[in-house]
Structure 1
Amino acid sequence: MPRLLSRRNLLSSLAAIPAVALLAACSDSGEKAAAEDVKPAAPADAMKPADPAKPAAAAAAKAPEAEGTVDMAALLKPGALPDMQLGKDDAKVTIVEYASMTCPHCAHFHATTLPALKTKYIDTGKARLILREFPFDPSAEAGFMLARCSKDNYFPMVDVLFKQQANWAGVANTKDALLQISKMAGFTQESFEACLTDQKLLDDVRSVQKRGADEFKVDSTPTFFINGKTYKGALSIEEISAIIDPLL
């Protein structure tokens, strides 16, 4: 199994590509370096996504063991970007998810677990979900930037990008694929390019990622902090229910 890089090596592996270069990094430019940059992190020399959780039978669901704890007050302090949240501030359970837009396990969680989590806990006021950016590569950075530029449509844009992940992440021309998806979400060519050349936004997305690695030891995605306890991998609804129910 590919090993995880140290946090220092992980951060140094995210090349300091300026925002104006994201468009080139996401295009089929013919340059080998750019083509390599846009591939989802999977090789042994790059940080890998966490292994997906094994399916659990609903009747015998057991809460997975936590892999550590964090200080919730520190975790919830404001960062470089405003937190994007589903649910009410006064929910008894707070879930903070660090995800990458090019991570297949994150896409799996958002497709299979999040809808049930939303119906059962978020929409009923029992839990809230805060999603934080932890991009692996320029493609993931671009995806999160477009979601941020969607403003009030952040979560719908994230949902679309996860559902369409196979159609834009790691394809020959990621730029054009993202542009077509973005146009369906209301972007124009001009607003699309303005978003992906916003250097401050790129710096802020990277700051969120760096803080997650430095302060909370995030080294794979998805990583969840549920009322201060750390869980890694794409939790099933049965597993996450087994974690949440005793907290209510």
Structure 2
Amino acid sequence: MPLSRRILMMAPAVLLPFGAKREALAQDADPRLAERGAGKPDAKVTVIEYFSLTCSHCAAFHRDTWPQVKKELVETGRIRMVWRDFPLDQLALAGAQVARAMPPAAYEAFTGALLSTQERWAFNRNADSIAEIAKVAAMAGMSRAQVDAAIADEGLRRAVLETRLKGEQEHRVNSTPTFVFNGKPAPGSLNYDRFAELAGEAGA
């Protein structure tokens, strides 16, 4: 989903240049910001997915393509999949913060559940979106108080936004989902055949 379709309201102080001093939590200092992924760490090909929890195209990839990618490329050791947050709006940012506050083992299931239920919590104007996110989080053992604390954590918020900024600067990401095959970006909700083709070109 292009950035122009959802405006992320971010204060200038959040998007500081990487060389400047900032208060955001460093990934090597906070376990919540450690890499989230699936597959063997020594796989020949690493595929990074920049995604937003409120992106319908990301949901389509998760629904239509990811199960086959996981079965045929990840579980066979051909690729490692790494997920990076690229929130397109405040609601996606809140969901990403909650996901990061969970144990790493729960990350894939939680984000997958949110992507598969977008219509209920992200696009339903009558819904209490945070309450709906909290319901999904509760299935992973996270209390409403813990959900609220994660969303209110300014350090975590800034760090998630820095991940997004890094994607823009390093891989020129400007829409979601964007996949990076061993350093080569490929935007769009790829079907399995195209995904496997790009993985093969990268050496998988």
2:134 aligns with one of 162, 165, 179: 179
1:149, 1:113 → 2: CA distance? 26
Report Cα offsets for 1:159-188 as digits up to 9, x if no partner. Answer: 111111111113332122212222222221
Hey, which bits of structure 1, 4+ residues long, moved more than 3 A? 2-5
With over 3 angstroms needed to count, the CA separation of the structure-2 counterparts of 1:182 and 1:3, relative to structure 1, is closer
The one-letter code sitting in structure 1 at the alignment partner of 2:56 is P
1:4, 1:202 → 2: CA distance? 19
Correspondence for 1:86: 38
- Spell out the pairing of 1:22-37 with structure 2 (5 A cutoff): none
Unaligned ranges ≥5, structure 2: 13-26
2:9 aligns with one of 8, 14, 20: 14
Q: Give, in angstroms, the shift of residue 105 of structure 1.
A: 0.4
1:15, 1:203 → 2: CA distance? 10
Report Cα offsets for 1:24-80 as digits up to 9, x if no partner. Answer: xxxxxxxxxxxxxxxxxxxxxxxxxxxxxxxxxxxxxxxxxxxxxxxxxxxxxx788
1:213 aligns with one of 168, 172, 179: 168
Report Cα offsets for 1:114-147 as digits up to 9, x if no partner. Answer: 1101110111111001110000111000111111
Q: Is the Cα–Cα contact under 8 Å of residues 14 and 136 in structure 1 kept in the other structure? A: no
Correspondence for 1:122: 74
Correspondence for 1:242: 197
Aligned pair count? 183
1:222, 1:200 → 2: CA distance? 25
Matched, 1:161 2:114: yes
The one-letter code sitting in structure 1 at the alignment partner of 2:81 is L
Q: Structure 1 vs Structure 2: percent identity of aligned residues?
A: 33
Q: Give, in angstroms, the shift of residue 199 of structure 1.
A: 1.1
With over 3 angstroms needed to count, the CA separation of the structure-2 counterparts of 1:159 and 1:4, relative to structure 1, is closer
2:61, 2:120 → 1: CA distance? 18
2:90 aligns with one of 126, 138, 141: 138
The one-letter code sitting in structure 2 at the alignment partner of 1:166 is E
Correspondence for 1:110: 62
SS at match of 1:117: helix
TM-score (norm 2): 0.81
Greater radius of gyration (CA):
1
Unaligned ranges ≥5, structure 1: 18-77
